Each structure stands twice: as structure tokens, then as C-alpha cells.
């Protein structure tokens, strides 16, 4: 019912439990893009993720939105749990391979950054990517995040530790003209 | 961030914790219209109500939306807890006295009925009003609900029991042309 | 140990967990009279029901009694969760087909209505029956309940929605001479 | 509603929350007989005790009954939490000073012992009394319990440790003719 | 990391989850000495026991230590849940058959008794053994506990009830020269 | 009871609830060194912190030790919650001003790093300090941690955001000869 129009073909919706099948199908289709998921990732796991984000949202500690493009779910962006004592949160995102390169993630991130700084009053946004994942790193760079460091071997990915690049963006760096 | 446009001047938003002050101010301004609220109804109580509805929403058992008209919150409509085993829920609504008579509640109810029947697959909607409250009873009647009975002394209102009129609407009675 | 004598052959006892086997056997014997039970209703489910009612009882929000006739459990009557803010509750009842027609349910309901109005201070009792179930509807009618309405398609029964007839009884309508 | 008749003037009832005021008044009247109660023991504490026992009862792990004599609450007997793995429980009892010496506690204990051995299938009952409390010790002795030991300084009573005498009774020692 | 040296070859360590495999292997090797364990006692059960004791420890209500002798876990001693209102607790102990007779349990009990009386300020320690288990009874006797009674049929052991001998030790009976 | 000797005058103990008064007194004495504490930090808060760490410890997710020097508590080191999926944790430390400069924190950190890598099998340790706090930054530098980045405005300290310097140490960088 609720949605946020990004452009003529694209809108964001709060992910609800009834979207679980679409989310699951999309993740399965793009399995190789999601090394962070368990081998036996199931529909139930997709439901759990959505419910987890909704529960955070209900406590004013999170947000998980889906990107609908030409009527289909094609990806999503979420806040990790908001750290209210330090007024910051981290952005996570994913997109179907077939819809990559159209700027959908960038546009969606802008909406969620805007909400974070202007509606919620946060002071800092973080994006962390595997240092080796150039595609993923392009997102914070295009959004104006500053690279702040590289945390060595800080994430276990299936069979090895990877270094994570940390990007940060401060409220006073976010310019109105960057907004959608 | 998310919203649903009803007309050029009006949109619905999912009520979030940060709207509590607006909700509270509006209820206080319209105190005499809300005999169901405790005498010492506080901002914290308004927050609790919103969080309660969000928690239900997160579990796919509820929904609470606010009506924004010309930029201001003027009322709201909500589902009471959804009864999934019988696939039904009840609608509750409230509107500022200053904005009554413009059809805002009717329009909002239509959106929530539509979501209930068409997005959630419910089979039955209920509205219950104090039998003595003619204004409130006008809503289900305009929406095409059928009067199904009167439950005598079934609600305690401040200092006395009141009879409640029960109205019902079935999925197969809801016509597309009634929709927004 | 505790019991309430209704007549020379009949007494009521608070249902306890150790009665689960008797309850289960009786429900199985009268399977066709209980369309509201799951197809795979089990002894564990019977235990759960009893424990649920006992937990409500322990919080002063319910009561579930069994009817023992000539030494055997033959049926039961219970309060649905008591609504203390509106001081009302609903009665539910069931009886073995072999013991129907002897007035055992009526007598038991009277005891529980009496407790509700005179010991607990409730103001309103409700009975709701499937509109199509003439036998069940005879109970509230004999007890002096007033028919208050018919809630269309408000209960899912196995494979279809049924209309529910609502009956109400107020404290001031309950006459002493109706008591046991 | 439920009761168990002990003699023409006396009956037992399951203690419910609504009896809290009577329990509290009786304990206050007999304050000096209850060194185990806090100095600021309140009506709320009496309610908590009753709810605690009802919750145990609901889980098949306890029982707390009141003794009504000539229409007034005069004392009570309870099971401490039942130890199902070892099939035993402990009896506790209290009586108003004004009603002492009439055998009411003895009679009530017999009913609860009977329930324990014959309805619940327990194997062992325990009574523990302060070794210095001759009146209290008379109860297990009259009931046929055997003295099994004395646990030195095992209970803190207001301002000092007291030795506790332990009495035990086994199912096979409980003779039918001792029953009420 | 933490340990308490008892002698050149022996030290005590707080049992942690990562010791579960050693505990389990030792219990399995000494299966016949542990009639209190379920037939299907598993590694998970060993983990649960350790976590249970750690959780009690975290709430200042328990302690479970392992005895390491010449580098291997050979037994353990624990407090049952501390009864703070009466300032007492009970000791439980077990030792591998291969390491019995070297005084390891006695030495460890002394350390835990000392902690109980001198660090925690308890007033009473209890040891209870099956009356028929002479080896186990030797422990409290050597430690200076007094035999206080015999609780008949108070513990179910696999297929029968056994009588339990209760031993008690008071803070003022614990002499410094008995300490390690 | 348990301890770990660092040198002739110094030992570590697991912090338990009964140490709360010592912890609180020490924090109060060094108030200006703890801008992260609330203005009304109380004894109860100190207890809560200790219990929180013990609860984490009981679940194998944390550790909080106190440093005792010449018989007095002078500081502490703790793991923040262990991240088992990525096998890492963060070290936090504090020391009384009067005992600074004696290497006590360094020595204690070494013990906890050793436990993390060698007993728990973690792969990565983190220390984060306010970039402006030179004294605090000296610790990870002396311990051989590598500076990995600076997270801008990532911690709210009383009245302003501060930049946090992140240091990391990997298991394969930790040499045996650095150990105590």
C-alpha cells in the first residue's frame, strides 16, 4: 500500500512478510552474488530476515525496503540496527544481477540516507564492503562517503576471512543537492 | 518517507514513534471526542499506542496509519489485531473536529479495506460504534457495511456501559468501483 | 478434590492436567460434534487446552470446568478470557452426545453465570453459536439470553465461513430464582 | 464456587486472587504467629503469594487451599513446589490463633495428603518445622509422619538461624483408615 | 586462564562451555558411577549442565569447578543453587574411578567450603548422599560435616527410591586449620 | 578464589558481583578519566556492568577481569561481546590514575589476547580509542596492533562526537615471545 516513488518505473516499499517469496526467489536467482548466505538458505530464512527488520523498524531501530522496478522486486536496501547513543547506522544493499548498472541502488541509498539525516536526525552513516569487491565499493564512493579505513580479516565469508573497507558519511557532508 | 496519496492535499503514512508528539497534541486538542482515553492520557501513552500498532504490523497482525492533510496530521485509521484464523479484522478511526466532514476518514477507510481484501486476502471487516454515536455510525453506513446487531452494554466508557452497534462487510460485497 | 455438586449424580470439577486423557477420549468419541478441532487433534492438544485455561484461571481471567455425571466426565463449560475493562466474558460448552438432553449443560452454565455475576462482579455474559446449529442455540435461549445480532461469516469452520449468532445476558437480567 | 466439605462447619476452597484481602487481614491479626513474613508485608504480597500458588497449580506443581470455618477464612494449607522427578512435596500450614486446637489443620492436611498420594501419585510427603516450635511439630506427629532428622541452622527467621525438624511420610505408610 | 593451584599436580578451573567434551568423555568412561544421568546422556547435556552452572555463577548463585590433575580433567565439585535467604548451599562432587583415593575431592571441597564461608559469607553447607553409598559418605565425614538425618525414599535413582543421608557443616565449625 | 598471577604483586580475577563496591569506589576516585559514564553513575550501575559481563561470560561471549595490585583493585580489562561468526572481539581497559605507567594494563591485555587466540581460537582482536587520547592509543601500539583506520565522529562522548582510531591484531601476528 505504502510506497515511495523514485522514478516513473521504480518505487520503494517497506518489506513485509508477504514479500518473502519474492525476496527468496530473487536471492536464489542471484545465488552467486550472496556468499554471505548459508548454503541451505530457505524461504523461512527469508521470512525471518524480513520479520527481523520489521521488528527493528517497530522499535525505531531499523528499516528494510525493497526496490520495485517495472512491477518486480529487484533488490533492497536496509539499515543495520541503529546505534542511537552514537546516532549512526550502517547501510546494506543488494540488487539482482539483471538490474545492476541502472543506478537503482544509488537512488535508493539516497532516500534512506535522507531519511536517516533529515527524518531521524542521525549524524553518521557507514557502509562497509569487502575490500576486494570493486562493484560494491563503487556505491559509497559515488554517494560521497569517505574511505576511513580497512579492517583486516574482519568478516568470515564462506571459507576465508576478508578485509572490510569502511566508508563514512557525516550529516554535515550530505548536501541537499545530492538528494533525489 | 513512505506515503500513500489520497488526493492532492492528503496522504497516509504509517504511524511511527517519532509522530507521537503530533498524535498526542491532536488528541489533547480533541479531548472531548475521545472518552475512551484515560483522564491522565500522556505523551508516553501515545508512544505506546504507536509502538503497539507497529509491533502488530511487524508480525503481520495490524496496521496503524495517520492522515496528513495539507501537511498536518489530522486523524488516523487502524486495524485492530487481525484474526487470521477467521480472516477478519476491525477498523478503528479518529479525526480532528476541525477536519471532520471532508470525507477524509471515509477515503482512508477505503484504502485500508482495499488492502485488507486485496493485499492481505481477508474475508470480513468489522466496524463497531457506540449505538448513541450517530456521527461515528455514519462511516460504516457510507462505506456499505451492513448493520449486524447491537451488543448491549458491551463497552465501559468512562462512567457507564454503552451499547455497541456492529457493522460487517464481506470481501464479496466490496466492489471495485467503491475503491479510490 | 474440589467439586461442586449440581445434583445427586452430577458434579463439576476444575479441569486439571491429569484429566487430559478423559477429555481427549470424550472428544474423540464425539468427533463429529467438534468441527472446530483440527483433524490431527491429539492428547497433547487436549493437555494444552486444559493448561491454557488453568493459566487464565491463575491470572483471574478464566475458568474451565468439567461435568462429571455418575462418575464419568461427560462435558464441560468454560469462560473465554474475561474482559475486565468491560466486565464481561463469553461462555463455551460441550457435551457428549450420549448425555445430551438431560439439562447438564444448562445447569452447569447457571453455576458459571452465577459465579460470573455474583462472585466476580461481571456485568455481561455472551454466548455465540453457529446460526445453523439449532441445538447449540437452544442453550442461551433457555438461559434467558437475548439474541443481539448475527455476525456474518465470522468463523471459519473446517472448510467454510459460518454466521455466528450472538446472545447477551446482563447482570440485572439474571434473577436469583433462575439459579440452581 | 468449588469447595470440599470437611465437616458441617468447615470447607476448603482453592485460594483465588479475590481472597487476598481476607488472607491479608487474617495474617495481620495473627502477626506474631508469622515470623517468616517481612515486616512490611502488604496486601500486594498476599496477592502475590496467592497468584504464585495458582500459577504452580496451573502447571500441576502446587496447590494452596484456604480453610473456611463457619463462613470465615481461618487458615490454609499448601504444597510447596512439587518435585515430580522424585515424586514428593512438602506441606505448609497456618491457622488463626482463635481457631487453633480444633483439629482444622490436621483435617485439612489429611485431605491434601490424600490428594497427593491418591490423586497425584506422589510417593513422599515432607513437613518441616522449627525444632523449637512444639505446636507446629504436633501436626506431623499426629498425622503419622516419622521424624527423619534435624537440619541445623537451616532457616533464617527474622534475626537468627533456627534448626528445622524434618518429618517424612511415605505413600505405603498412609492408611486408608487415617483418611477423613 | 584462571585457575587455583591445589598442589603441584592439581589445579581447579571454573568449568566453561569449551570443556564440555572433556566432561562428557569422563562421564562416559565412568558411566557406572553416575546412575543419576539419563541413559541417553549426550554431549549436549554436558554442555547444558556447564552453561546452567555458569548462568548461576553469573547471578552469584552457584559455582562449578573442574579438577585438573597432571593436565587432565579428572572430576568436579559444584554448589547447587545458593539459598541466599538462609545463607546456605549444597556441595556435589564426582571423580573419575581411576583417580579416586588420592584425596582430590576432599581437597577441592575444602577450597569451595572456604570460598562459601569466607568469600561469600554463607552460614551452612550441606552434603547429601545415598545412604547406601559408603564411598560417597566418607567425604562429608572426613570434612567434619555432622550427620543430621536420613530422608527416606527422597531420591529416585533409575528404578527405585533411595534414602538420602543429610550432612551439615556450619560456618562456626569450620576451622582455619582444616583449610588448604 | 580463582586468580591468574601476573607478577609477584599483581593478579587477575574474574570480576564478580561482590566486587561491585570496589569497582564503584575506584571509578568514582577516577571520575575524570571516565567521560563515558553517566553523570549519575551509581553502585547499582557498577553491579549491572559486572553482571552483564558475567552473563556474557556464562554464554561464552565475553570476559571481564579485574587487576589486583598489592591487594587492591586498580583497574580492569574486558572483552566486548565476542563475534563468533567472524571470530573476533574487542578489548576495553581502564586503570586507576595512581597506578598508571606500571605496565599493568599491557600485561593484562597480553593475558586476555593470549586467551582469545590460544584458548578460544579467535582470529582477530580490536582496540578502539578516541583519536585524541594519546595515553589510550599507546596501549595497542605497544601491544603490536596495527592502526587500521579512523572512524570519524563515531562515538558520542558527553557533549560531542569524537573520532575513533581502530587498531587490529591478527592471530598470526601474535608471537609467543610476546606472551607473559
Model confidence at A176: pLDDT above 80:
no
Q: What CA–CA distance (Å, rounded) separates B156 from B136?
A: 17
pLDDT, mean of residues E125-133: 96
pLDDT at position C158 is 87
- Reported as a single tens digit per residue, the pLDDT across C118-167 is 999 999 999 999 999 998 999 999 999 999 999 999 999 989 999 999 99
The region that residue A113 occupies, defined by phi over 0 for left and psi between -120 and 50 for alpha, beta otherwise, is alpha
Query: C169: part of which helix (H) or strand (E)?
Result: strand C160-170
Closest chain D CA to residue C3:
D2
pLDDT at position E180 is 41
Residue A126 near residue A82 (C-beta atoms within 8 A): no
Model confidence at C89: pLDDT above 60:
yes
- Contact residues, chain B to chain C, C-beta under 8 Å: 85-88, 123-124, 126, 146, 148-156, 161, 166, 168, 170
Q: DSSP letter for C131, please.
A: T
- Contact residues, chain D to chain C, C-beta under 8 Å: 1-4, 12-14, 16-18, 51, 54-55, 57-60, 111, 114-115, 119-120
Size of interface B-C (CB pairs under 8 A): 61
Give the residue among B117, B9, B3, B119 at the shortest CA–CA distance from B66.
B3
- Which residues in C lie closer than 8 A to residue B150 (C-beta atoms)? 148-149
In angstroms, the Cα distances linking F168 to A148, A154, B53, F149, F171 are: 14, 9, 43, 9, 10
Residue D122 near residue D169 (C-beta atoms within 8 A): no
Model confidence at D179: pLDDT above 70:
no
Q: What is the mean pLDDT of chain E?
A: 94
What is the rounded radius of gyration, in angstroms, for the C-alpha atoms of chain A? Answer: 16
Residue from C2, C6, C65, C180 to probe the interface with D (highest D Cβ count within 10 Å): C2
Residue from the list A1, A114, A115 with its beta carbon closest to the beta carbon of B4 = A1
Cβ within 8 Å of residue A65, ≥6 positions away: A4, A12, A13, A14, A15, A76, A77, A78, A108, A111, A112
Residue from the list A123, A126, A146 with its beta carbon closest to the beta carbon of F161 = A123
| E137 band by pLDDT with thresholds 50, 70 and 90 | very high
Give the residue among F94, F163, F92, F168 at the shortest CA–CA distance from F131.
F163
Residue from the list F87, F88, F150 with its beta carbon closest to the beta carbon of A148 = F150
Q: Could C17 and D60 be called an inter-chain contact, meaning their C-beta atoms sit closer than 8 Å?
A: yes
pLDDT at position E68 is 97
- Which residues in C lie closer than 8 A to residue D119 (C-beta atoms)? 1, 18
ipTM over the 0.85 cut-off = yes
Model confidence at F177: pLDDT above 50:
no
Q: What CA–CA distance (Å, rounded) separates A135 from A101?
A: 10
The region that residue B101 occupies, defined by phi over 0 for left and psi between -120 and 50 for alpha, beta otherwise, is left
All partners of chain D with 3 or more CB pairs under 8 angstroms: C, E
Residue A126 near residue A138 (C-beta atoms within 8 A): no
pLDDT at position E145 is 97
pLDDT at position D89 is 98
Chains E and C touch (3+ CB pairs under 8 A): no
pLDDT, mean of residues B54-63: 95
- Which residues in B lie closer than 8 A to residue A109 (C-beta atoms)? none
Q: What is the mean pLDDT of chain D?
A: 94
Model confidence at D180: pLDDT above 50:
no
State the smallest CA–CA distance between residue B140 and chain A in angstroms.
21
| A138 band by pLDDT with thresholds 50, 70 and 90 | very high
- Alpha helices in chain E, H assignment, sequence order: 20-29, 43-58, 104-114, 134-142
Q: Could C148 and B149 be called an inter-chain contact, meaning their C-beta atoms sit closer than 8 Å?
A: yes
Residue D92 near residue D105 (C-beta atoms within 8 A): no
Residue D126 near residue E152 (C-beta atoms within 8 A): no
State the smallest CA–CA distance between residue E56 and chain D in angstroms.
20
pLDDT at position A36 is 87
- Reported as a single tens digit per residue, the pLDDT across E167-179 is 999 999 997 544 4
Window from B128-132, E128-132, F25-29, F34-38 with minimum mean pLDDT: F34-38
Chains F and C touch (3+ CB pairs under 8 A): no
Model confidence at E113: pLDDT above 90:
yes
pLDDT at position A177 is 47
Phi/psi for F127 (5° steps) reads -130, 130
Phi/psi for E3 (5° steps) reads -160, 170
Residue from the list A126, A155, A166 with its beta carbon closest to the beta carbon of F86 = A155
Residue from the list A85, A123, A156 with its beta carbon closest to the beta carbon of F87 = A156
Cell of B70: 495539507
Phi/psi for F44 (5° steps) reads -60, -40
Q: What CA–CA distance (Å, rounded) separates B148 from C154?
A: 11
Q: What is the largest CA-CA distance in chain C?
A: 43
What percent of chain B stands above pLDDT 90? Answer: 91
Model confidence at B53: pLDDT above 70:
yes
- Contact residues, chain A to chain B, C-beta under 8 Å: 1-4, 12-14, 16-18, 51, 54-55, 57-60, 111, 114-115, 119-120
H helix and E strand count, chain E: 4, 8
Model confidence at D178: pLDDT above 80:
no
Chains F and B touch (3+ CB pairs under 8 A): no
Q: Does the predicted model carry a pTM greater than 0.95?
A: no
Closest chain D CA to residue E171:
D153
Closest chain E CA to residue F59:
E51
Q: Could A154 and F88 be called an inter-chain contact, meaning their C-beta atoms sit closer than 8 Å?
A: yes
Q: Could A55 and B55 be called an inter-chain contact, meaning their C-beta atoms sit closer than 8 Å?
A: yes
Q: Could D58 and C55 be called an inter-chain contact, meaning their C-beta atoms sit closer than 8 Å?
A: yes
Cell of F12: 587477575
Q: What CA–CA distance (Å, rounded) separates E77 from A81?
A: 42
Amino acid at each position: 500500500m505504502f510506497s515511495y516513488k523514485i522514478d516513473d518505473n521504480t518505487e520503494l516499499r517497506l518489506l513485509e512478510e508477504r514479500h518473502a517469496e519474492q525476496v527468496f526467489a530473487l536471492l536464489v536467482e542471484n545465488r552467486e552474488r550472496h556468499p554471505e548466505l548459508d548454503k541451505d538458505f530457505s524461504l523461512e530464512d527469508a521470512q525471518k530476515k524480513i520479520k527481523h527488520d520489521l521488528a527493528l523498524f517497530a522499535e525505531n531501530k531499523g528499516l528494510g525496503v525493497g526496490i520495485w522496478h517495472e512491477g518486480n522486486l529487484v533488490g533492497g536496501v536496509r539499515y543495520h540496527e541503529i546505534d542511537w547513543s552514537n546516532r549512526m547506522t550502517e547501510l546494506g544493499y543488494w540488487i539482482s544481477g539483471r538490474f545492476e548498472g541502472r543506478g537503482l541502488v544509488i537512488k535508493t541509498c539516497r532516500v534512506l540516507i535522507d531519511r536517516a539525516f533529515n527524518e531521524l536526525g542521525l549524524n553518521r552513516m557507514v557502509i562497509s564492503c569487502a575490500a576486494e569487491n570493486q562493484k560494491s565499493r563503487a556505491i559509497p564512493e559515488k554517494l560521497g562517503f569517505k574511505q576511513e579505513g580497512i579492517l583486516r580479516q574482519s568478516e568470515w565469508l564462506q571459507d576465508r576471512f576478508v578485509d572490510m573497507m569502511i566508508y563514512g558519511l557525516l550529516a554535515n557532508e550530505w548536501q541537499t543537492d545530492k538528494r533525489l
